[in-house]
Amino acid sequence: MNICLFKTDELNKPLSLHDQRGEHLIKILRKKVGDAFTAGVVDGKAGIATITEINDDGITFFFEPKWEGKKLNPLEMIIGIPRPIQLKRLLRDIAALGVCKVHLTGTELGEKSYMKSALVEKGSAYKMLLDGTVQAGSTHVPGFAIHQTLKECLDSISDDSIKFALDNVNPECSLSQAMVDANISAAEKISDGENLADGKNFAAEKKHVIAAIGSERGWTDKERKLLEDYGYTKCGIGERIMRTETAATVAGAIILSNLKII
């Protein structure tokens, strides 16, 4: 736990000793009265909390906000829903990367029962996203949405974005090369004096990026055509077949690195 996050209304109440955060402070960090720890408000500022009292009612502390929480990155991800055990790790990892929003979607080859998993419910998925946010020492939790089909998902997303779809069957290029090509295109627009707001210049403007990763069995030809129709460039990240969770993390790292964020 690299930061202890609280909702605004929790700041004025003692933290229960049986709360996961309270147990971590006392049993793992061995904090005592007068000790401080890194804390923050969910989707708000981070700072330092100082323990003023510990008793049967819990841990009383004073929180002093000092800096802005780590902002989310301009990367949105569409994920073909994987099996629940993968999804737990996936949500934690991409939240730690600072993805700004996660769209879970059913796919034609995806297992339909996964959509009925308790983890898909917002409360359970949010807990995994919160865990990843805490791991990153951030305060901002990624947004979250669930869609029954890929088309429903694509219809819900703004067109004003750079769009990539991972595909290890018939990629047009590697994801790394697609990022390079976009940077070259951006540089050409600068040299030509074009309005950057009208160009796909994420290198200069930190333009919003969307990456789509299929479920465990990948995309169907129909879904590939749909992604193309919605402006997604099909990209690969190597010949090896990866788990959905691994592909999402690798793709996120490549994109954020090219955005000069990591």
Helical segments of the chain, H only: 20-23, 84-97, 122-135, 150-155, 175-191, 202-205, 221-229, 244-258
pTM of the model: 0.86
Q: Which residues contact 200 (CB under 8 A, 6 or more apart)?
A: 162, 182, 185, 186, 207
pLDDT in tens, 187-228: 555 455 555 444 444 444 547 899 999 988 889 999 999 999
> What is the overall mean pLDDT for the chain?
87
Candidates 3.40.1390.10, 3.40.1280.10, 3.20.20.70, 3.30.70.1450; CATH matching 73-258: 3.40.1280.10
Look at 41 and 243; give whichever has higher pLDDT: 41
Task: Provide the residue ranges of all domains of the chain, joining segments of one domain with +.
Answer: 4-68, 73-258
Predicted confidence at residue 183, as pLDDT, reads 65
Q: Among 39-48, 93-102, 110-119, 218-227, which is the least confidently predicted range?
A: 110-119
Instruction: Say what percent of the chain tops pLDDT 70.
Output: 88
pLDDT in tens, 122-131: 578 899 999 9
Look at the alpha carbons of 167, 168, 169, 170 in this order and tell me if their dihedral is positive or negative: positive
3-state helix, strand, coil in the chain (%, to 5): 40, 25, 35
The amino acid sitting at 238 is: G
Fold of the domain built from segment(s) 4-68: Ribosomal Protein L25; Chain P (2.40.240)
The amino acid sitting at 233 is: T
Q: Which residues pair with 143 in a beta bridge?
A: 101
Predicted confidence at residue 10, as pLDDT, reads 95
pLDDT in tens, 57-91: 999 999 999 999 899 999 999 999 988 888 999 99
Predicted confidence at residue 124, as pLDDT, reads 86
Instruction: Answer yes or no: are the C-beta atoms of 210 and 157 closer than 8 Å.
Output: yes
Task: Answer yes or no: is pLDDT of 255 > 50.
Answer: yes
Report the alpha-carbon distance of residue 151 to residue 192 in Å, rounded: 36
Report the alpha-carbon distance of residue 15 to residue 22 in Å, rounded: 6
Inter-helix orientation angle 84-97/244-258, to 10°: 10
Task: Answer yes or no: is pLDDT of 262 > 70.
Answer: no
